[in-house]
């Protein structure tokens, strides 16, 4: 069958529940074909992952320390280590094994770290 990916949806709210995304860096977000400036790419790492996943019997795991880039549709500046929450994320699953995410969002809410214990505040 063809075009099945047009009918898949990704539940961002459920995926993001229990996660903290920490900023690693940022770069310019440009359209691949036209090279037009679109905003800012924010590279993050999943710093905390308390999401409950369905595992096969005897298996454990999470997405902690996996990298994820947010493509923000405006120019922003964030600091390394800031915790961020995407606003209005549009998520696409891609890759040969359907194990990669493309996340485009209108903006990011920045949560400044309160302490070295990994807590964040608004």
> Domain for residue 106, yes or no?
yes
Q: What is the CATH number of the domain that holds 88?
A: 2.40.50
- The range of the structural domain enclosing residue 27 comes to 10-49+62-112
> Domain for residue 117, yes or no?
no
- Each residue's pLDDT tens digit, 43-95: 999 999 999 888 889 998 999 999 999 999 999 999 999 999 999 999 999 88
In this prediction, residue 107 has a pLDDT band, given cuts at 50, 70 and 90, of very high
> Domain for residue 86, yes or no?
yes
- Each residue's pLDDT tens digit, 5-49: 777 789 999 999 999 999 999 999 999 999 999 999 999 999 999
Q: Please give, one letter per residue, the 3-state secondary structure of the chain.
A: CCCHHHHCCCCHHHHHCCEEEEEEEEEEEECCCCCCEEEEEEEEEEEEECCCCCCCCCCCCCCCCCEEEEEECCCCCCCCCCEEEEECCEEEEECCCCCEEEEEECEEEEEEECCCCCCEEC
> Domain for residue 121, yes or no?
no
> Domain for residue 2, yes or no?
no
Structural domain total, the chain: 1
So what's the pLDDT on residue 71? 98
- pTM of the full structure: 0.85
So what's the pLDDT on residue 95? 87
> Domain for residue 120, yes or no?
no
> Domain for residue 74, yes or no?
yes
């Amino acid at each position: 069958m063809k075009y099945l990916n047009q009918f898949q949806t990704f539940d961002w709210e459920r995926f993001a529940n229990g996660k903290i995304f920490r900023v690693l860096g940022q770069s310019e977000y440009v359209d691949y074909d036209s090279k037009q400036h679109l905003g800012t790419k924010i590279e993050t790492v999943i710093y905390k992952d308390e999401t409950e996943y369905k595992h096969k019997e005897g298996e454990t795991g999470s997405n902690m320390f996996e990298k994820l880039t947010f493509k923000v549709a405006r120019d922003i500046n964030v600091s390394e280590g800031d915790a961020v929450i995407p606003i209005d994320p549009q998520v696409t699953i891609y890759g040969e094994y359907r194990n990669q995410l493309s996340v485009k969002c209108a903006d990011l809410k920045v949560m400044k770290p309160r302490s070295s214990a990994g807590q964040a505040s608004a």
